[in-house]
Amino acid sequence: MYQDFLAFLERHLRQQLLTTRRNTARAGRIREIEAEHRKILAAIAAHDADGARKAMRSHLRNGIERLVTLRT
């Protein structure tokens, strides 16, 4: 049952990620997202857990905002 659930989840997550990436590219926000990813990576590389946490939270909040903006 667990294996079936994971397969189900993977199918839907994979499709959602593809859709999100397409919409992001169409909206011209790739550079913005890459900059967010670089901040996360830089904090991780510097062993700055608090900075990585803040950068990731910011990225997630911005991602939600981008999705909301795309839908309207």
Q: Domain locations in the chain?
A: 2-71
Separation CA 4–CA 61 (nearest Å): 31
pLDDT digits (tens, 9 = 90+) for 11-58: 888 888 887 777 777 777 888 899 999 999 999 999 999 999 999 999
Res 71: pLDDT: 60
Average pLDDT of the segment spanning 52-69? 91
State pTM to two decimals: 0.67
- Checking 9-13 for CB contacts under 8 A at 24+ apart, the result is none
